[in-house]
Amino acid sequence: MQRLEKKHPRAVRWMHWINVPVLSIMIWSGLLIYWANDVYDVGVGGITLFHFFPDWFYRALDLEHGLAMGMAYHFTFMWFFAVNGFLYVVYTILSGEWRHLLPNRYTPREAWNVVLHDLRLHKGPLPRAKFNGAQRLAYTGVILMGAGSLLTGLAIYKPTQLSWLTSVLGGYAWARAEHFALTAGYVLFFLIHIAQVIRAGWNNFRAMITGYELVLTEDTSHA
Amino acid sequence: MPDLKLASARLSSAAELEMRRLTRRSFLVGGAAALAGLGAWRWLTRATPEDGLAWPLRRTLGLNQRLAEGLFSPRRLAPTFPDERVQGPARTNGLVGLSDNVDAAAWQVHVEHEGRDAKQAITVRAVQDLPRADLVTELKCVEGWTEVMHFGGVRFLDLVKRFSLATRSGRAPDPDNNPGDLYRYVYLATPDQDYYVGLDMASALHPQTLLCDTMNWQPLTREHGAPLRLYLAVKYGFKSLKHIGLIRFQDQRPPDYWADRGYDWYAGL
């Protein structure tokens, strides 16, 4: 037998989905800005493995010669990003949702089991909870990353008036690199998030839109 | 057994029907929200441009500016560095408005005040008679690169005090006690006004705003704006005008070369 179970509050669903276009616009405009001084590489011992970014990448996404426009979009949509994130944190605190989201003492062990489970190395069933340990780490971590983006962003937005912040973050060039690395982190988060949502299936995805999940009830009378 | 299954199916269908109803409603609301978002995006990207930027973006940059001006303090300074951090020759970027006329001995900076006919011409020598100021700090280019550089010259603040500039009354400026006497903006340009910058008065009078005759302890070269250039620690590099020919104090917001080309007018750091 099935019944409906409330999963995601309305406010969380709205803030989650608003983040999709807002973060997309922030990353796109950030790339327009980065193009004007694209100095980051990943390499080992002086050998460059990957340059951020190859020319074909900029060309394919039309990211060339858009610094002024990129800055204007970035410094407009930063407000939506900041306000949305701020409201989310306030909401999770006031509503008590934080209890489902913050890591607790069971989290590390549970997260490890989830990883083993997802890698097909562990066959046991996962604990039935709104969010498992891996999710708690991921969803708390990504909020901390958001705060990091705000701080590193402010440090490179007003490096003279907020020079104390820029200095704490290691100076202007470091703060810029940290801002970039956090964005790379979002993209990584996003890829894993999408893969997990696809794996979890329709019922789980639908809950982020409707707020409800269909769950099997254990009907003892039929047992 | 078949009866039980049937009963269970009928029972679960109530939940499923409710789920279906919820799903339909939520997808309709979500779809409408997505369409509204797309509409807003179309509106934004097609809004009438003001100086190369859609007007809502230009307006938001204006709001950001007002907020930054409200929180601005001349006591907050850009970090300075030991002299050894200056490496090699200074990078050049942008030659608009430069000319081969860099004769410091004959050079004059013309100074004007809005609504006043009297014009002044100040020689490089007169500027150099002011107290020396040296600054080793990090130039920040709007493109995203930075470079630790030395700037040597005099404070813009000392210049306006010495020559009683920037005030409506024509008296020496007193930003702390009589800020209302100051004009709101400064316009600076190369002699032929091919390159020009607009500054808010607070940024112009910041203690790290210099009129420079040396960079990295060498006399200014033609490419770096000889014989006299500006340096501001509170702005991106494109506001640090080279080859200064004209300084005008005014209440109307002056034009700015890069702001006319889609960049933020304030560009404050």
Report the pLDDT averaged over residues A1-15.
92
Burial A163-175 (b: 16+ CB within 10 A, else e): bebbeebebbbeb
Tens of pLDDT, residue by residue over A142-155, are: 999 999 999 999 99
Q: What pLDDT score does A45 carry? A: 83
Give pLDDT, residue B231. Answer: 97
In this model, does residue A220 exceed pLDDT 60? Answer: no
Chain B interface, mutation test: which of A39, A160, A216, A219, most B Cβ atoms within 10 Å? A160
Nearest partner of A212 among A69, A1, A3, A5, judged by Cα: A5
- DSSP for A70-104, please give it: HHHHHHHHHHHHHHHHHHHHHHHHHHSTHHHHS--
pLDDT surpassing 80 at residue A125:
no
Q: Which carries the bigger pLDDT value, residue A158 or residue A215?
A: A158
Name the pLDDT band for A222 (thresholds 50, 70, 90): very low
Find, in chain B, the residue whose alpha carbon is nearest to that of A156: B269
- The candidate with the shortest Cα–Cα distance to A6, out of B70, B54, B170, B15, is B15
A91 versus A128: the higher-pLDDT residue is A91
DSSP character at residue A41: E
Segment A170-195 shows an average pLDDT of: 96
Confirm or reject contact between B37 and chain A (CB < 8 A).
yes
Residue B131 tokens, joined = 């107290």
pLDDT score recorded for residue A219: 58
From B149, B148, B178, B154, select the one nearest B166 (Cα to Cα). B178
Q: Where are the beta strands (DSSP E) in chain A?
A: 2-6, 41-44, 47-51, 212-216
Helix (H) or strand (E) holding B110: strand B108-113
Contact criterion met (CB below 8 Å) for B44 and B56:
yes
By C-alpha distance, the chain B residue nearest A164 is: B79
What's the rounded Cα separation, in Å, for the pair B220 and B92? 12
Residue A55 φ then ψ, to 5° = -55, -40
User: Region A201-215: what's the mean pLDDT?
Assistant: 93
Of chain A, the percentage scoring pLDDT greater than 70 comes to 97
Tokens of A134: 């891996």
B172 vs A218, residue with greater confidence? B172
- Are B143 and A158 within 8 A, CB to CB? no
Amino acid B6: pLDDT: 54
A108 band by pLDDT with thresholds 50, 70 and 90? confident
Instruction: Report DSSP letters for B87-102, one per residue.
Output: -SSPP----TT--S--
Q: Which residues pair with B209 in a beta bridge?
A: B232
Residues 137-176 of chain B whose Cβ lies under 8 A from any Cβ of chain A: 138, 140-146
- Give A103→chain B minimum CA distance, Å: 30
Instruction: Check CB contact of A69 with chain B, cutoff 8 Å.
Output: yes
pLDDT interval class at A223 (50, 70, 90): very low
Phi, psi of B136, rounded to the nearest 5 degrees: -110, 110
pLDDT at B1: 47
In chain B, % helix, strand, coil (3-state, to 5) comes to: 35, 25, 40
Smallest Cα distance from A94 to chain B, Å: 25
Q: What is the pLDDT of residue A57?
A: 95
In this structure, what token pair is assigned to residue A209? 């839109």
Q: Which residues of chain B have pLDDT under 50?
A: 1
Question: Phi-psi region for residue B133, left (φ > 0), alpha (ψ -120 to 50) or beta?
Answer: beta
Strand partners, B247: B111, B188
Q: Across the interface, do B234 and A21 touch by the CB < 8 Å criterion?
A: no
pLDDT at res. B150? 97
**ipTM value of the model?**
0.92
Interface list for A 4-33 with B (CB within 8 A): 4, 17, 21, 33
